[in-house]
Structure 1
Amino acid sequence: MLAYATVGTNDLPKALAFYNALLADLNPQVLMEEEGTMRVYAGGPGAMIMVTKPYDGNTATPGNGNMLAMAPGSKEAVDALHAKAMELGGADEGAPGDRGQGFYGAYFRDLDGNKICAFHMG
């Protein structure tokens, strides 16, 4: 059902450097880009992330209760993604670990405060 998720930023070059490095091991493709405005990363059908300045020109703020979830493919990849986010200056929101019912997850915030979950089922 989900087609893509969007995260807002107030510093696009800094955000793109964060996401380029964070997603590098997942081999994303840049599907769309408007220089100085937005970039869309694609990791497969129905797996797109848009990093953008808000269209209305107002300040980007993380939404309370909003979260982007990524499935990098294994528990080890979850661990690596969380570690990479910390290395890049992200904020820890929950170290990698079992969360019950076969859900293994880690939580962090990007440089703009957007909450992200990396998870693996099974």
Structure 2
Amino acid sequence: MFTHVMVGSKDPERSRSFYDKVLGALGIGPSQSPPGAGRHFYGDMTKGGAFGVGTPAEGEQQHANGGTIGFIAPSSQHVDAFHQAGLDNGGSCEGKPGKREGAPGSPYGAYLRDPDGNKICAFAPPGR
């Protein structure tokens, strides 16, 4: 459905370091960066979607009010590693790892804010 999702960063290299570790904990990455572009991408938009972070083309960074970007985790252990990697690399907790009883199937997930304040999460399918 999507080619990519992009979030802004005031410091793309700090973001690359953060996301290389956080998404690396989910088996994604490392980033692929066009030389000098100030943007870093994870995944392959030609094969079903990519996530990008970089300097906003419009200049001033803004956050999506109520926006969250969710990543698939292979297991609850990967969710735990994602969350810990985020905390260890400049992110902040927006929801500790655990079952989400209000979500369909009660999946296991965790929420973070990246160093620029963008909200992300990782969820493992129920039973994993």
TM-score scaled by structure 2? 0.84
Q: How large is the Cα RMSD of the aligned pairs?
A: 1.9
By percentage of residues, which structure has more strand?
A: 1
Partners of 1:47 and 1:77 in 2: CA distance: 20
Any gaps of 5 or more consecutive residues in structure 2? Answer: none
Amino acid at match of 1:115: K
| CA 93–39 in structure 1, closer or farther in 2 if over 3 Å, else same | same
Shift of residue 18, structure 1, vs aligned partner = 1.0
TM-score, normalised to structure 1, is: 0.87
For 1:94 and 1:24, how far apart are their aligned partners in 2? 20
Q: 1:32 to 1:46 in 2, by over 3 A?
A: farther
Q: 1:30 to 1:88 in 2, by over 3 A?
A: closer
The 3 A distance-change label for structure 1 pair 30 and 16 is closer
Q: Is residue 104 from structure 1 mapped to residue 104 from structure 2 by the alignment?
A: no
Gaps of 5+ in 1: none
Query: Among the aligned pairs, what percent are the same residue?
Result: 33
Deviation at 1:17, TM superposition (A): 1.3
Q: CA deviation at 1:23?
A: 2.2
- After the TM superposition, which parts of structure 1 deviate over 6 Å for at least 4 consecutive aligned residues? none
Identify the residue that residue 116 of structure 1 maps to in structure 2.
120
Shift of 1:5: 1.1
- Equivalent pairs counted in the alignment come to 121
On the 8 A contact 2:20/2:31 being kept in 1, the answer is: no
